[in-house]
Amino acid sequence: MAKAFKYGFKGITGYLEHAERELLRGLLNDVISMLETESREDEDPLAALIGLDMDVQEPSDRALLRLLPNAMKDDDAGSLEFRQLTERSVRESKIGALRATALGLDKDELLLSAEDARRWSMALNDVRLVLAERLDIRDEADADHIHSMQDWSQAEDVESYLALVYNFTTWLQESLVQSMLAALERKS
Amino acid sequence: MTPSVAFGTAIGTDTDERTETAQQASTDVLTAPDIPWNLVIWNDPVNLMSYVSFVFQSYFGYSEAKANKLMMEVHKKGRSIVAHGSKEQVEQHAVAMHGFGLWATVEKAASGNDAPGKDGSTRG
């Protein structure tokens, strides 16, 4: 069984079993594949270098749209312009955090630096955002309903399995963030 | 007060920088350089309250009390203006917030009552 993250002498520590690490690695890789764009041959290399993408569109997948939301409410043209200038760098920073977290899953005893912890918290958050879209969590009542499913013997279909995975990831992220807040408090 | 601002910049405290970005913005016909913009964070049922507070503390350098106050405003009212500044500044914050997975938008500050006033430039 996984142990909650805690902040102590050595820093932020946690423990995940092999099967739990495999599960998380799979989820992280799924989100990485969603965020990776195919490079186009006709792409302007200079534009790519400075992070522009003039051909970008608003994502049609709701989960991807939640990861890369519109930056202006009720302003499609403004949001698209913002995307052209910034979406590539948001994708890259997310992929960076997801990859670093997946790489850190190489042993069961976890010891995270402040920077590791920040990347882990971002990566776990992105995993939860994607799972929440797949589970149709639209409001607090939906979230409470999903949260009530805690018993792995209830995992009888894809939805209940996803709900249990979501709850596990939520629990893990919450313990991590509490440790990060404890670390912040210690520093101030 | 909170020292961990390594990945954040202060908002609206650097007059020189504001002048510079204002000049850049003047090439955009729609953006008057002296119109302040707001960074808005929207409520969603997924992001943990603790995480949202952590992001406000670590990125903006806000005190725990201020971060929690803004987080509760997002949670209860559905949205909160958490920073303001030039268009470029709040857009940069929006990119960072999207990186953290928070649902952020930028908007022109309405004249008067909607703006966070001096509050947005108070650190820690």
Tell me the three-class secondary structure of A7-71, residue by residue.
EECCEEEEECCHHHHHHHHHHHHHHHHHHCCCCCCCCCHHHHHCCCCCCCCCCCCHHHHHHCCCC
What's the pLDDT at A140? Answer: 92
Going residue by residue through chain A (188 aa), what tens digit of pLDDT does each one get? Answer: 899 999 999 999 999 999 999 999 999 999 999 999 866 667 777 777 777 777 889 999 999 999 999 999 999 999 999 999 999 999 999 999 999 999 999 999 999 999 999 999 999 999 999 999 999 999 999 999 999 888 888 788 998 999 999 999 999 999 999 999 999 988 87
The CA distance from B55 to the nearest CA of chain A, in Å, is: 9
Interface of A with B in 48-77 (CB under 8 A): 66-73
Could you please state the CATH topology (level 3) that the domain comprising B48-110 is classified under: Ribosomal Protein L30; Chain: A, (3.30.1390)
Number of H helices, E strands in chain B: 4, 3
- Assess contact for B87 and B23: CB atoms under 8 A: no
Dist CA B70 CA A164 (whole Å): 30
Domain boundaries, chain A: 3-187
Yes or no, beta carbons of B46 and A140 under 8 Å apart: no
* Chain A contact present for B57, CB below 8 A: yes
Which pLDDT score, from 0 to 100, does residue B37 have? Answer: 96
Asked if A86 lies within 8 A of B53 by C-beta distance, the reply is no
Among A72, A97, A121, whose Cβ lies nearest the Cβ of B105? A72
State the complex-level ipTM: 0.93
Give the nearest partner residue to B101 out of A129, A139, A185, using CB atoms.
A129
Strand partners, A110: A14
Kindly report the nearest CA distance between residue B107 and chain A, in angstroms: 7
Report, as ranges of residue numbers, the positions in chain B whose pLDDT lies below 50: 1-29, 112-124
Domain boundaries of chain B, sorted by first residue: 48-110
Taking alpha carbons only, the member of B58, B76, B65 closest to residue B119 is: B65
pLDDT at B122: 37
Q: Shortest CB distance from A93 goes to which of B46, B94, B99?
A: B99
Query: To the nearest whole number, what is the mean pLDDT of chain B?
Result: 75
Q: Which residues of B touch A93 (CB under 8 A)?
A: 99
Give the pair of three-digit tokens for residue A5.
């993250």
* A133: nearest CA partner in chain B: B46
